[in-house]
Amino acid sequence: MAKRVGMEVAIAAAEAVGMCNIDMAAVYPITPQSHIAEHLSEIVADGRIDAEFVTVESEHSAISCVTGASATGARVYTATSSQGLMLMHEILPIVSAMRLPVVMGIANRAVSGPLNILNDHSDIMPQRDNGWIVIFSENGQEAVDLTIQSFKIAEHPDVMLPCCVNIDGFQLTHMVEPIEFPDQKQVNKFLPPRKPYATLHPDKPASMGTFAMSDIFHEVMKAKDEALKDSKKTILKVWAEWEKMFGRRYRPVETYLADDADVLLLTMGSMGETAEIAINELREKGVAAGLVKIRLWRPFPFDELKQAVKKAGILVVTDRAVSFGGPGGPVAGEVKAALYDEKKRPLIYNQIIGLGGRDMAVSDFVKMVEDAVKAGAKGITKDYEFYGVRG
């Protein structure tokens, strides 16, 4: 039977990894991810799972270590945040090119400088073109569920790609939430042992990720792109299987009161639940507002996004990162590109919010929507805005 407990989300994420019968983990601690590393090492040290926890000297070493272990056929896990993820950057496209199903938890945190340890999405956004499956969790329950699901998705023979689960730093990682853990027998049924396509072994020498000249490199990149796009089919199948077994539904794009909405708000990550309350308040004021939440960032959910916004006249896209010198926020830039060829598309207003952990209250989301409605009524368009900036 599943059990419901109150637990810090970072600890719960480590518990979820422990339920996945991993063979090896290498995690270098960094705020606000450290509790994942600490608790996972305790799970291994206490003998609760038969796995190796490798102590490494940096995040670069951590991703390199799990890459090598994955190539031998092991089920592996790592986690990081902010500067740690930036230090891993060199290795991330290699993992996807070698088609290794590494699973990584990311406790999202602002990237320096100046130094900031609080949450935004400036760490994951520079990694979006590395060929990884990228998923965002909204709360602790989703962090647990998506972590377990990610192993099955990544290791599927039709996928064989790395996957990362984003868990907003502090706003989620350090919050105690009620979480329902599945029974271990159920997890074992859902997630069978890994069956690798090819493995490294000293008794049978082989090469992976060797030098590629220009006569094949172009084709390799095309193959990686196709593999990532095709992974969506498996992601949907795995999510459907999870819903059948555990009753919780996951979709690439989630919506709230969006079917009859004239104006939509779009979020990604932990801000979604606060935004839902704002939508309720707007409805009470007579504003036909709704919410769209992107869960699957890569591969990008083009069809689901188009379906979710097709009836709305206004779309307010929130970003937790900046594309400096570019279109404003990276999410808004991709949303605009996705809707560019649509005959009917909403007016898009981009609000950059919550950088470096800046608080966003329900009233802030209400104001953003109301301001967009007023601007839309006057035909006013804007490129992007740093919401609530001082000075």
Tens-digit pLDDT profile for residues 300-351: 999 999 999 999 999 999 999 999 999 999 999 999 999 999 999 999 999 9
For residues 294 and 327, the answer to whether their CB atoms sit within 8 Å is no
Is the overall model pTM greater than 0.95, yes or no? yes
- Asked whether the predicted pLDDT for residue 194 surpasses 80, the reply is yes
Nearest to 271 by CA among 137, 111, 80: 137
Calculate ∠ Cα 362-360-324, nearest 5°. 135
Using one digit for the tens of pLDDT, what is the confidence trace for 86-114? Answer: 999 999 999 999 999 999 999 999 999 99
Using one digit for the tens of pLDDT, what is the confidence trace for 46-92? Answer: 999 999 999 999 999 999 999 999 999 999 999 999 999 999 999 99
Using one digit for the tens of pLDDT, what is the confidence trace for 238-289? Answer: 999 999 999 999 999 999 999 999 999 999 999 999 999 999 999 999 999 9
Would you call the peptide bond into 269 cis, given omega within 30 degrees of 0 as the criterion?
Answer: no
How distant, in Å, are the alpha carbons of 42, 61, 287 from that of 284? 48, 53, 7
Residue 37: per-residue pLDDT? 98
Residue 347: per-residue pLDDT? 97
The structural domains of the chain, with segments of one domain joined by +, span 3-246, 253-386
Confidence at 382, pLDDT banded by 50, 70, 90: confident
Confidence at 33, pLDDT banded by 50, 70, 90: very high
- Give SS3 for 103: strand
Using one digit for the tens of pLDDT, what is the confidence trace for 136-147? Answer: 999 999 999 999
Residue 119: both structure tokens together? 């949450």
SS3 content of the chain, % helix, strand, coil (to 5): 40, 20, 40
Residue 96: per-residue pLDDT? 98
Confidence at 208, pLDDT banded by 50, 70, 90: confident
Same fold, 3-246 and 253-386: yes
- Asked whether the predicted pLDDT for residue 218 surpasses 70, the reply is yes
Confidence at 207, pLDDT banded by 50, 70, 90: confident
Residue 199: both structure tokens together? 């493995």
Q: Which helix (H) or strand (E) holds 293?
A: strand 289-294
Q: What is the mean pLDDT of the chain?
A: 97
Mean pLDDT of 119-126: 98
**3-246 falls under which CATH superfamily?**
Thiamin diphosphate (ThDP)-binding fold, Pyr/PP domains (3.40.50.970)
**Which amino acid is present at 155?**
E
Residue 363: per-residue pLDDT? 98
- Asked whether the predicted pLDDT for residue 3 surpasses 90, the reply is no
What are φ and ψ of residue 130, in 5° steps?
A: -95, 0
Residue 1: per-residue pLDDT? 61
Contacts of 260 (CB under 8 A, 6+ apart): 288, 290, 311
For residues 255 and 306, the answer to whether their CB atoms sit within 8 Å is no
Q: Which CATH number fits domain 253-386: 3.40.50.920, 3.40.220.10, 1.10.357.10, 3.40.50.300?
A: 3.40.50.920
| High-pLDDT (> 90) share of the chain, % | 95
Confidence at 127, pLDDT banded by 50, 70, 90: very high
Residue 279: per-residue pLDDT? 98
Would you call the peptide bond into 330 cis, given omega within 30 degrees of 0 as the criterion?
Answer: no
